[in-house]
Chains A and B, each alone.
Chain A
């Protein structure tokens, strides 16, 4: 990881404002921002470890533990609720065998809340491994569950 960070800062600079882009890059590379990387990032950008830790923990996007092999982000915001989102949320947890906000024991899937994907006229919506899906119903959940099981 040290090499990766060095290479990245050589290309993009090592100023403080590069912290979020670097954290995104680290997460893209490793899947999560593990605690052991925090001191390396702090050194690379000349920040304190506490400072970097504070930023990592502030933003919902940064993971400190690995995600499941599949990530299902389900919208919980008002527009999706108006279209039956709460029932879909419960059904998704049941079909995928994992509670909202958790990763399943076997590491196959993470079910995460997201507050609005901007597809508000065609909800309930989800991002399944980065792929947007609209009008989620129980049939769509079955397809997602099958994808996860495969």
Chain B
């Protein structure tokens, strides 16, 4: 009997290896796949029957007999018919969880290499045009049109051009890159080979963070097996070394070159002077992995779904305190509320949702009153946030938002590359200011009742931060008398003003998104959850 068990790192963390071993011991033929992407049913086993693959989950190694005779209470039926999967549009993750990730036969049988074959039948310019027509934008977070980036590299003179895949997925709440590399590595390889054909690149690198040992292993194995199919293009995996900032593209290039992962000033753009000073395509895993579909099915098919200027699908990741956490690939335009409440099912522990952070440690915190926001690059930017790598971390009503703002600054301080001052120094000063605020606020709001009354008008955080308020009662100058600690005005008003001023400096003065975007979680926490910062009157008035 054929049994399918995921070998995704998350499934293994939940005990999938023991489950797989138990079925193997029972004489079953066990095929290890990637994860389907719904972790509340993991470890999941699928049994091949005359009626297709029937899922059971979660199961343990002690459940073998009940699964094999079909009597197990956690029988799910065909997994792709579960509501979590039936509503998805899996363009990029079509094979993930279904096939043996490193089987070339499986990959070819499920439309694998169709995109590369189509691309190789076209001139490079035609491939770039197809990517442009698809409307694909950088899935790493910046949302820059991929086709335009490729055009720049195609047009750039250079004897040697590189294709670099940014797989340094360091944002908390995101795991789509990891799942794809572990569950369908040939898809990424195919996307990179198409990019190589499109711009004339001959050498590629996949920079994977060291926290992802399973992905590193799977990608290396897949590259070895697929080498003859992508030749003359060659690929190599480079392992990161625990520096979050290397997810920034220029820091990543320096890291591959064997240097400290420090951000480079732009220009020159990596497209013109990138790796080893040569023209370089550098794209996120999800951007490159979307390309095979675009070439195989046509740019129109990809662009047909989406919202506004955000075309195609986004593999959204539901994380944190959420009942049905996992990967949900869907066209842009779905609202935040639908994702968190309808698909995610609210919090895992049943408490009310108080905040969600969208886009990793540099993304804004939104309260449920903002759940009408459609998932779209422009809509989130207008609301003072970003979709980033599309990770959504759900928090219940026990979260202390001042603590989360402090953590954002603390994380920035720990991970700053040190090249620019606003990020290097500002992050540490930010921790100190939030500490003073937390010390000065009346009572630590450890458990807040869900407040419906803190909803804010539409139009976004930008408008609400009335600049005239920053200088009221001279709080800033008083808060800055730091040479003599006794003279620092540690009142909530003064420190909050100072925090906003610091965020302003970091946002506009930092070299890259680490220092530049750390203000997003801090200011959104301050704007939407002022009561956690001592509920000072001016902020509340500003918000209403």
- List chain A positions with a Cβ less than 8 A from chain B: 15-21, 23-24, 45, 54-55, 58-62, 75, 77-83, 114-123, 125, 127, 130, 132-135
A-B contact pairs, 5 of them (CB 8 A): A20-B238, A75-B172, A78-B393, A116-B211, A118-B10
**Interface presence of B425 (CB below 8 A):** no
A83 and B320: CB pair below 8 A? yes
The CA-CA distance from A110 to B240 in the complex, in Å, is 21
B13 and A120: CB pair below 8 A? no
- List chain B positions with a Cβ less than 8 A from chain A: 9-10, 12-14, 39-40, 42, 169-175, 177-178, 210-214, 238-244, 255-261, 276, 317-322, 325-326, 348, 357, 360-361, 391, 393-396, 399, 404, 407, 411, 414-415, 417
A120 and B393: CB pair below 8 A? yes
A51 → chain B closest CB, angstroms: 8
B160 → chain A closest CB, angstroms: 13
A130 and B211: CB pair below 8 A? no
Known contacts A118-B169, A119-B9, A135-B14; is-contact A78 B239 (Cβ 8 Å):
no
Main secondary structure on chain B at its contact with chain A?
mixed
A33 → chain B closest CB, angstroms: 11
A21 and B241: CB pair below 8 A? no
CB neighbours of B173 from chain A (8 A): 77-79, 116, 120
A116 and B242: CB pair below 8 A? no
B170 and A60: CB pair below 8 A? no
CB neighbours of A135 from chain B (8 A): 14
Nearest residue (CB) in A for B417 is A58
Q: Pick the residue among A24, A78, A123, A132 that contacts B241 (CB under 8 A).
A: A24
The CA-CA distance from A22 to B329 in the complex, in Å, is 38
The CA-CA distance from A17 to B242 in the complex, in Å, is 17
Q: Pick the residue among B172, B242, B255, B317 that contacts A77 (CB under 8 A).
A: B172
B238 and A82: CB pair below 8 A? no
The CA-CA distance from A132 to B175 in the complex, in Å, is 14
Known contacts A20-B258, A24-B239; is-contact A122 B14 (Cβ 8 Å):
yes
Q: Which 6 A-B pairs have the closest CB atoms?
A: A121-B325, A77-B172, A120-B319, A82-B320, A19-B258, A59-B241
Nearest residue (CB) in A for B245 is A58
